Amino acid sequence: MFDLFKRNENKGPLDVKALRDSLLRLVKDQLQKSEGGEGRRIKGIHLFINAGAADKHLYEAAVYLDEPDRFKDEIQRIADDFALNLPDNWALEVDFDDEFPPDSFKSDILDAAIFIRTKDHVIQRAANAFIHILNGEAEKEEYEITSSDGKLNIGRESKAQVNDGFFRLNQIAFPGDSKNESNKFISRQHAHIEWNNEDAGFMIFADEGGIPPGNKVKIKSIGNENLIKLHSTQIGHKLNEGDQVILGESAVFEFSYHSTAG
C-alpha cells in the first residue's frame, strides 16, 4: 500500500485517481459548509488550479479537461449522496490560474482552491488581455484591456457622431481616412467589449452598426469550424484565447491573454 501524498515540497497525490478523489473531497467538504449543507442557493462551483508544469497534466486528467461534463456529473453524484440539493442549473468552472482569487478557499494538500458561488455572492476577479490587429488599420497594432476598463467601444474613428447627434468615443478605433480597404466596412458604432465578472471573462457585443442587415461581427474560435455570428445587440460572446473577430468584411483582430510586444 503506497503513501497517498508525496513527502516533498509537492503535496499533491501520486496518481490521477487519487488526485481526482482528493479534488472531489475538497468540493464535497466545501459544499457541506456552504449554506449549512443546503445547496439550493448555490449557483456555481469554481475550481482554481495552480499546478507546476510537472503536475499540470495530472490535474487536467483528474478533472477530465476534455470532457468537462464528466467531472460535473461526479460532483452531482456526491451532492445527491449527501442530500445537498443542488439546483438543476448549477454551473461548474475549472480554471488553471497563476493566482487564486482572495475569496476562494485554498486546499492545504492540493494545488487547488475552490469558490462556491451563491445567488448573493459573486467572486470578484480581475484580468487583463490583449487585442492584436491582424487586418485593417487601427490607431494601435495592439491594445491592452483590463477588467476595470468598463465598456470599450470599437468602431470607425476615435470620436464619431452617431444618429442621435451625440458623439461616441471608440477606444479601439479604425481611422476613416485610412487607405486600408477593410476600414471602410467598419461602422462608427460597430461593437464593444466589456468584462463580465459573473462569467469571469471579456464579452464582445455587436452594437447597432454591427448587426445585420448592415455590417457584421463574426467570431472564429480555435477548434470550432463554424463561425459565430452576432445578430443581436443583447446577446454577446465570451472571448476565448485565440478568438479571431471579423468586423465588417475583412478587418480582423485576435483576442489573447498574452502580448505580442517584445
Identify each DSSP E strand in the chain by its residue range.
Answer: 42-49, 91-96, 105-106, 112-118, 128-135, 142-146, 152-156, 159-161, 167-169, 172-174, 191-196, 201-206, 217-220, 228-229, 237-238, 244-247, 251-256
Predicted confidence (pLDDT) per residue in 155-182, tens digit: 999 998 887 778 999 999 999 999 999 9
Q: Are residues 114 and 133 in the same domain?
A: no
The whole domain housing 35 covers 16-118
What values do phi and psi take at 185, rounded to 5? -100, 10
| Mean pLDDT of the 236-251 span | 93
* Distances in whole angstroms, Cα of residue 85 to Cα of each of 32, 38, 47, 80: 11, 7, 19, 7
Do 145 and 104 share a structural domain? no
- Judgement on whether residues 75 and 137 belong to the same structural domain of the protein: no
What would the grid cell of residue 107 be? 486546499
Q: Rounded to whole angstroms, how far apart are CA atoms 238 and 138?
A: 22
Edge to edge, the sheet with strand 201-206 lists: 172-174, 152-156, 191-196, 201-206, 237-238
Specify if 11 maps to a domain.
Answer: no
The predicted model gives 100-124 an average pLDDT of 79
Domain closes at, from 118, 148, 173:
118
Confidence category of residue 247, pLDDT binned at 50, 70, 90: very high
Do the domain assignments include residue 6? Answer: no
44 and 159 fall within a common domain:
no
Give the model's pLDDT for residue 3: 35
Tens of pLDDT, residues 82-100:
888 888 889 898 988 767 8
Residue 107: predicted pLDDT: 93
**Do 224 and 166 fall within a single domain?**
yes
- Residue 226's pLDDT is what? 82
Cα separation, 234 vs 221, in Å, equals 20
- Coil, helix or strand for 36? helix
Q: Could you give the CA distance from residue 200 to residue 202 in angstroms, rounded to a whole number?
A: 7
Examine the domain organization and report whether 83 and 188 are in the same domain: no
Per-residue pLDDT tens over the stretch 206-225? 998 888 776 789 999 988 87
Residues 43 and 134 in one domain: no
Beta pairing, strands 217-220 & 42-49: unpaired
86 alpha carbon, distance to own chain's centre: 23
> What percentage of the chain reaches a pLDDT higher than 90?
52
Residue 9 inside a domain? The answer is no
> Is 5 inside any structural domain?
no
- Read off the CATH number of the domain in which 63 is found: 3.30.2320
* Inside any domain, residue 175: yes
Q: Does 262 reside within a domain?
A: no
Query: HSE (CB half, 13 Å, CA atoms) of 154?
Result: 32
**Of 118, 142, 175, which closes a domain?**
118
For residue 4, is it within any domain? Answer: no
Terminal Cα distance for the chain, rounded: 51
How far, CA to CA in Å, does 70 sit from each of 44, 46, 79, 168?
16, 15, 14, 46
**pLDDT (0 to 100) of residue 194:** 95
Q: Does the pLDDT of residue 117 top 70, yes or no?
A: yes
65 in the same domain as 133: no
Indicate if 45 and 65 belong to the same structural domain.
yes
Q: Of the segments 49-63, 83-97, 99-113, which one has the largest average pLDDT value?
A: 49-63
How high does pLDDT run on average in the chain? 85
Model pTM? 0.55
Same domain, yes or no, for 93 and 180?
Answer: no
What percentage of the chain exceeds 70 in pLDDT? 88
> Residue 207 has which C-alpha cell?
452594437
How many domains are contained in the chain? 2
CATH number at residue 245: 2.60.200.20
DSSP conformation letters of 217-235 = EEEE-TT--SPEE---SS-
Could you tell me if 136 and 103 lie in one domain?
Answer: no
Choose the final residue of a domain: 87, 118, 149: 118
Dist CA 40 CA 213 (whole Å): 43
Q: Residue 32 falls within a domain, yes or no?
A: yes
Asked if 136 and 223 sit in the same domain, the reply is yes
